[in-house]
């Protein structure tokens, strides 16, 4: 299973369409701040949450299960992700997620804390600091084993982040 993880596209539905076309994911997770009508998001199996800049109605958080993996999806602005990741980690444990997907900071993150893999795909449209625009691709390799890779919107690998993880 191939899960595309994106966040903070901030109105760039055209760019998101191209990424989905290139990646051909089995499921897409959008961690909020899509800033476009929901019907402009790609027509694929998807989990979408509302970010602090979204006006469309969407869930504040969502749990989705695929390939035997429990994902928790949230934007992160209510969990102070720009400060630290402790609140994200605690809530992921509370909902018994193996992978917590979040955005808001526009900064890529891929780290495992205990039994939870934390993934922030960065921003495909407006990265912050010296980070490039990015998205993440999570691929289930075996039961409870995943590989996470990061890419620029043009498909160029960003090898600074990602790796293989046991859940």
pLDDT in tens, 71-118: 999 999 988 898 999 999 999 999 999 999 999 999 999 999 988 999
Phi-psi region of 100 (alpha: psi -120 to 50; beta: other; left: phi over 0): beta
| Cα–Cα distance, 49 to 147 (Å, whole number) | 23
Confidence of residue 142 (pLDDT cuts 50, 70, 90): confident
Q: Please list, in sequence order, all residues whose beta carbon lies within 8 angstroms of the beta carbon of residue 26, skipping any fewer than 6 positions away.
A: 1, 2, 3, 45, 66
Q: Can you give the residue range of the structural domain that contains 30?
A: 2-166
Tokens of 137: 């691709």
What is the tally of structural domains in the chain? 1
Q: What percent of the chain has pLDDT over 70?
A: 100
| Cα–Cα distance, 40 to 150 (Å, whole number) | 24
pTM of the model: 0.96
DSSP single-letter state for residue 81: T
Q: Report the CATH number at residue 129.
A: 3.60.21.10
Q: Give the chain's length.
A: 167
């Amino acid at each position: 299973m191939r899960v595309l993880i994106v966040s903070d596209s901030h109105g760039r539905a055209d760019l998101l369409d191209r990424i989905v076309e290139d990646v051909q994911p089995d499921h897409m997770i959008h961690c909020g701040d899509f800033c476009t009508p929901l019907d402009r998001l790609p027509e694929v199996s998807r989990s979408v949450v509302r970010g602090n800049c979204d006006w469309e109605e969407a869930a504040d958080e969502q749990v989705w299960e695929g390939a035997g993996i429990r994902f928790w999806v949230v934007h992160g602005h209510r969990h102070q992700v720009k400060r630290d990741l402790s609140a994200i980690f605690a809530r992921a444990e509370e909902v018994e997620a193996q992978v917590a997907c979040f955005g808001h900071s526009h900064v890529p993150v891929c780290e495992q804390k205990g039994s939870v893999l934390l993934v922030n795909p960065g921003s495909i449209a407006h990265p912050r600091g010296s980070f490039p625009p990015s998205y993440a691709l999570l691929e289930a390799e075996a039961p409870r084993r995943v590989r996470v890779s990061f890419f620029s919107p043009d498909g160029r690998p960003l090898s600074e982040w990602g790796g293989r993880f046991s859940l």
